[in-house]
Structure 1
Amino acid sequence: MAEITTNNLEAHLKQTAPPAPVFLIFGEEYLYKSAFDLVVSKIVPQNQKAFNVEELEGTDDNVTDAIEQVNTFSLDGSAKVVGLVDAKIFYAKENRADLVEKIREAVAADRKTKAVAGFVKLIGLLDIALTGDKDLDKKALARALDDDTVVKAEWPDTLIDACAGRDLSASTGIDAAEALVAAIEKGFAPNNHLVITTDMVDKRRKLYKAIKEHGVVVDCSVAKGASAADKKAQAATLQEVMRDTLKNQNKTMDGAAFTLLCETTGFDLRTFAGGLEKLCTYVGDRKAITAKDVKAVMVRTRVDPVFELTNAVGEKNTDQALFYLNSLLNGPEPLYPLQILAAIANQTRKLAVIRDFMESRHGKAWKNGMTFQSFKERVLPAIEAYDADLQAQSSRRDAVLAETADKKTVKSAKTATDLTIGADARNLYPVYKTFEKAARFPMAELIAAFALLADTDRRLKSATDPQLALEHLVITLCRNR
């Protein structure tokens, strides 16, 4: 029938009568829960919700109950909604990386019920039998996920304890999905509606296609990347949540307060909305919420991505770099010091490659201060020529080595070298921004930076305070010479 975004849902419900028999609402949890409430309110009057709205936890075991409920008439024959909420039915082995990330986010947010539900599904998908020995179970999980970091990670610990003694022979969801597809295609009892909410879907699945054909799919997802377009979408969503929340409370918030609240919570809609509720309570009868109120009420919960630190280092912004370094080391989800060092080293290598381009015969295409459009037209072709030269040099080197060494010890000439820039015309803006950063670093500074990185690596592996070692690295890299 339809595939719409959450912004178009209310208009769709007003224009469509009767409502679709099945809704699939997926994406950001805060948004899909709000969308669920909106769908329910349009179908079932407030005074009938106690009898005509049935919410079931979205486990595979409850799919059969949901099908039975949606085919059972209400007592008076009026409209009825059956909700399969926080459904796991779309989770599959191919999506295990996404599922692990969802579980980690739930653990970090201290949402144990959601984390355990996801973990049970993960164990079933991976076909792992928990032994009760935490070390052995984490090693088994690491092998199944092909991720050695799981062994040292803390997030599985409480989940393994919570699942001790439980029957975790969870189905993969395939049978439940097939049963649901058959029920949707057959049709439900008249005036009955099924509403499924989930944080993740697979649009290739037969179930998704069946819901799209017979009902309405509502996309509540928001891009979580760091591109300008992604950040703009995130800001727009936060502003929409702010407007809806403050309108209901008859409050206002100025731009400075909004910016500070966003900085405090990051793009976490649940925490952001909860912060707004706290602020409304804090200001009492006062209508305006200010930045001073945000400072007084909110505790910083934002988890800063490591690229915020590398960007600050690339811009030689010492204050910001030290702020993000402290946040990454001591925030809600602290990183290992060597992870941070690896990110800075990777950034330094990229800057050195681009600086080498600038000083090569191809570099005359680059001009400090040039616009992005000019960069695309003039510099991209030069980058491609530069990368081709490096690949040719690599091939000649491999040919020479092949004459004097066992061929098994020589990498194929077709293997791309790490020394190329590798600009993708479809995603060129990040490369343009890295060029702007590289222009701030003379090659001599970057060469010295590699020695400093090696020294920091040695200090981190000794008894040196890791924060002091990394702070020394960041301050030195950001220093203008």
Structure 2
Amino acid sequence: MAKNNVKYNQLNSFLKSVQKNDIPGLILIFGESYLLKHAFKTISSFLLGNDNNKQFALDTLEGGSVSMGDIIEQVSTFSFLVSKKIVAVKNAPLFQTQQGSQEISFSQSDFDHLIDFIEKGIPPNHSLIFTTNLIDKRKKIYKAIANKGLIIDCSVATGARKADLDEQRAVLQSLAGKILSNSKKKIDNQAFHALVDLTGFNLHLFSQNIEKLIAYCGKNELISIADVKTVIVRDKKDPIFNLTNAFMAKDVKNALFYLNSLFTEGFHPLQILKSFENQIRKLILVKCFTEQFYQNNTHISLKRISFNLFKQSVLPKIIDHDEQTKTDSQGQDEYLSKKSSKKKINKSNDLLLAPNPKNAYPVFQIFQKSENFSLNELSQSLIFLSDLDYRLKSSSFDAKTVIENFIINTCSKGGFVYAEKNKNRRHYF
């Protein structure tokens, strides 16, 4: 029997290496919706082959609107028209903890019924395919499917780490290559990067834009950046960390660009304010550490240090600092628990400089960017944001303009001065 867990980009080669009878009757496809859709089309076409009655062999059910009993009954029922049968349950609520008020969610009894059905075996030439965006490998139902069925993994990293962004870009490059090869066209590097910047990691939108460019460039074999700028309208939804990253780099132009994008997408000013607050609090913790670090390490510049040297010379001291922070926090919790009838346990990692030291690169980045600010600038910024929080909750004004001015003033060469000038109007005192 072939392996029972296949990545989406290995599915075609996997199917070439097996016979139809090698494919289990139970299949779970999960992950990114565009890749999931194409994986479903590939596996169902493989199972049904050249059957002239394909339309009668595929029953599609919508998860959340069908009971477990109906699903099992459908899979167990034989057809008079076809010998092969696929029952597909799209958006199956196998792992979600909450469902909409009008949706059907599965109980533990439903899962037990399904597991029992799986153990007994799905009827020959019948297939049950579940599709879902998210999974939980800890759940019993996942383990049952992994043990008896085939799992097709269509997930793509969605984070902002370099490795995540590289994976996303590789998926987009592969998708562009497949679509362009069918039309015997190519796209130059500048045009590709511009297209990614305009659309973000949205495979449905990205594929539609590639098709638009193919139609627009006509007989030209190469899609250029000029074609992209002419045809494609920016439709990328920027995550809020793009704004805070530009702010930490003191990149005023991009910070204002991302701020405008977030307001256009409907972000509330308080959401943006809280993101700035969280980032500045983190930077203050870093600056307090680095001021002590520089006292004993005058020969090291965190602004120009390499990643490898950072891991060797700085990261061990950060880890020691975090261990001491944990010890102090635990001692405080124990003291408070003795003074109160309710035991207080602090499980927050907010005070740690490297909550996950195995992933050192984000720690390296924030330490480098902290060098763009003085501790006084950060303190002034935090006081301003506290005042702004009060104003947003108590009055009406043009919040976007105020935040724009904050970005410009904080990222200017002269630094940000606020507290002394506004000491008589600071509401949080």
Fold shared by both chains (TM-score > 0.5) = yes
Instruction: Specify which of 219, 223, 231 is matched with residue 157 of structure 2.
Output: 223
Cα offset, 1:226, TM superposition: 0.9
Cα offset, 1:174, TM superposition: 3.6
Mapped pair 1:354 → 2:286: yes
Taking the aligned partners of 2:253 and 2:201, their CA distance within structure 1 comes to 23
Mapped pair 1:5 → 2:7: yes
Q: Greater shift after overlay, 63-72 or 334-343?
A: 63-72
Mapped pair 1:306 → 2:240: yes
Instruction: Specify which of 312, 318, 321 is matched with residue 383 of structure 1.
Output: 318
Cα 1:391/1:256, change in 2 over 3 Å: same
Answer 1 or 2: higher relative contact order, Cα 8 Å, separation at least 6.
1
Instruction: Specify which of 363, 370, 373 is matched with residue 308 of structure 2.
Output: 373
Counterpart position of 1:476:
409
Taking the aligned partners of 2:388 and 2:241, their CA distance within structure 1 comes to 19
Q: Deviations over 1:343-391 (max 9, x none)?
A: 1122122222212222115654452311222212211222244446667
Cα offset, 1:214, TM superposition: 2.0
Instruction: Specify which of 410, 424, 443 is matched with residue 375 of structure 2.
Output: 443
Counterpart position of 2:421:
none
Instruction: Specify which of 49, 59, 62 is matched with residue 64 of structure 2.
Output: 59
Matched AA of 1:348: I
Cα 1:240/1:344, change in 2 over 3 Å: same
Mapped pair 1:327 → 2:296: no
> Which is richer in helix?
1
SS of corresponding position for 2:158: coil
Cα 1:51/1:439, change in 2 over 3 Å: same
Taking the aligned partners of 2:374 and 2:345, their CA distance within structure 1 comes to 31
Instruction: Specify which of 198, 212, 224 is matched with residue 278 of structure 1.
Output: 212
Counterpart position of 2:73:
68
Cα offset, 1:340, TM superposition: 0.9
The question of whether the paired residues in 2 share the 8 Å contact of 1:55 and 1:82 is answered with yes
* Mapping of residues 36-185 of structure 1, within 5 Å: 36-46=40-50, 47-59=52-64, 61=66, 63-75=68-80, 78-88=83-93, 90-93=94-97, 96=98, 121-123=99-101, 168=102, 170-185=104-119
Q: Deviations over 1:257-302 (max 9, x none)?
A: 2212222221122222222233333334443322233333333222
Cα offset, 1:207, TM superposition: 2.6
SS of corresponding position for 1:219: strand
SS of corresponding position for 1:359: helix
Q: Could you tell me the percent identity over the aligned residues?
A: 38
Cα offset, 1:453, TM superposition: 2.7
The question of whether the paired residues in 1 share the 8 Å contact of 2:67 and 2:104 is answered with no
The question of whether the paired residues in 2 share the 8 Å contact of 1:80 and 1:192 is answered with yes
Structure 2: segments with no counterpart, 5+ residues = 415-429
Q: Deviations over 1:125-150 (max 9, x none)?
A: xxxxxxxxxxxxxxxxxxxxxxxxxx
Q: Deviations over 1:169-204 (max 9, x none)?
A: 734344443333233222233222222211122223
Cα offset, 1:5, TM superposition: 0.9
The question of whether the paired residues in 2 share the 8 Å contact of 1:318 and 1:478 is answered with yes
* Mapping of residues 195-214 of structure 1, within 5 Å: 195-214=129-148
Matched AA of 2:399: P
Q: Greater shift after overlay, 448-457 or 30-39?
A: 448-457
Instruction: Specify which of 24, 27, 37 is matched with residue 28 of structure 2.
Output: 24
Counterpart position of 1:255:
189
The question of whether the paired residues in 2 share the 8 Å contact of 1:355 and 1:443 is answered with yes
Taking the aligned partners of 2:179 and 2:379, their CA distance within structure 1 comes to 52
SS of corresponding position for 1:197: strand
The question of whether the paired residues in 2 share the 8 Å contact of 1:459 and 1:469 is answered with no
Cα offset, 1:415, TM superposition: 7.6
Cα 1:254/1:174, change in 2 over 3 Å: farther
Cα 1:387/1:246, change in 2 over 3 Å: same
The question of whether the paired residues in 2 share the 8 Å contact of 1:380 and 1:423 is answered with no
Taking the aligned partners of 1:29 and 1:297, their CA distance within structure 2 comes to 25
Mapped pair 1:35 → 2:39: yes
Taking the aligned partners of 1:343 and 1:191, their CA distance within structure 2 comes to 54
Cα 1:465/1:42, change in 2 over 3 Å: same
SS of corresponding position for 2:169: helix
Q: Deviations over 1:2-35 (max 9, x none)?
A: 1121112112211111232221111111111100
Matched AA of 1:447: S
CA RMSD of aligned residues (A): 3.1
Cα 1:172/1:439, change in 2 over 3 Å: same
Cα offset, 1:397, TM superposition: 9.3
Matched AA of 1:337: P
Structure 1: segments with no counterpart, 5+ residues = 97-120, 124-167
Taking the aligned partners of 1:393 and 1:192, their CA distance within structure 2 comes to 61
Matched AA of 1:356: C
Taking the aligned partners of 1:394 and 1:21, their CA distance within structure 2 comes to 53
The question of whether the paired residues in 1 share the 8 Å contact of 2:25 and 2:122 is answered with yes
The question of whether the paired residues in 1 share the 8 Å contact of 2:53 and 2:82 is answered with no
The question of whether the paired residues in 1 share the 8 Å contact of 2:329 and 2:346 is answered with no
TM-score between the two structures when normalised by the length of structure 2: 0.83
Matched AA of 2:5: E
Taking the aligned partners of 1:235 and 1:220, their CA distance within structure 2 comes to 15
